[in-house]
Structure 1
Amino acid sequence: MIQKCNSLAEVRQQIDQIDQALIELIATRQAYVDQAVTFKTSRAEAPAPHRLEQVIEQVRQHAVTYSADADLVEKLYRQMIQHFIERELQHLPD
């Protein structure tokens, strides 16, 4: 639930706490991506375009549910997923 802040300092404190939580969640997501790569046998499996579109559809729906900008969420996720694909490719054989 969003708290009503009484000062810019309080707003910034809340934003800092959210940033810390987001980073923790991104790190957790990265750890699962790192596990996923152990189940893939070639670089061809890393992009998984069908899975990408499933994820994008889901996060856009979540964005709408929480009144977030769905276009922004999609853009962030596409960039994050592309980074994770590149990370996977470093550990997969040709």
Structure 2
Amino acid sequence: MTHQKCNSLAEVRQQIDQIDRALIELVAARQAYVDQAVAFKSSRAEAPAPQRVEQVIAQVRQHAEAFSADADLVEKLYRQMIQHFIERELEHLPD
């Protein structure tokens, strides 16, 4: 992804707004896949999947570093998002 040079605060804000829309679209897509994953799990015990969580965290940290993003921030965001999705799964899984 290239970053264009902005000539005003309004342009910066417009670019940020576009990125926010794209991020929300991607979060919604991720949520849809998490919702599908529930069909493949038979109990609440399967929802947390700590090994998978750590695999995802390692991958996103690598991606963050490759794009010169703050890997600590990305990890925090992902841990919070993953925890939310786990809680969402738990609502639909039997004990």
TM-score of the alignment, normalized to the shorter chain, above 0.5: yes
Q: Quote how far apart the aligned CAs of 1:66 are.
A: 0.2
Q: Which runs of 4+ in 1 moved over 3 A?
A: none
Deviation at 1:92, TM superposition (A): 0.1
Q: Distance in 1 between matches of 2:38 and 2:53?
A: 15
Distance in 2 between the 1:78 and 1:38 partners? 22
Counterpart CA distance in 1 for 2:23 and 2:5 is: 21
The count of corresponding residues between Structure 1 and Structure 2 is 94
User: For residues 36 and 20 of structure 1, what CA distance do their matches in structure 2 show?
Assistant: 25
Q: CA RMSD in A?
A: 0.2
With structure 2 as the length reference, what TM-score do the two structures score? 0.99
- Residue 12 of structure 1: CA displacement? 0.1
Q: Deviations over 1:18-58 (max 9, x none)?
A: 00000000000000000001100000000000000000000
Following superposition of structure 1 onto structure 2, how do residues 1-94 of structure 1 map, counting pairs within 5 Å? Answer: 1-94=2-95
**% of aligned pairs identical?**
85
- Which consecutive unaligned segments of at least 5 residues does structure 2 have? none
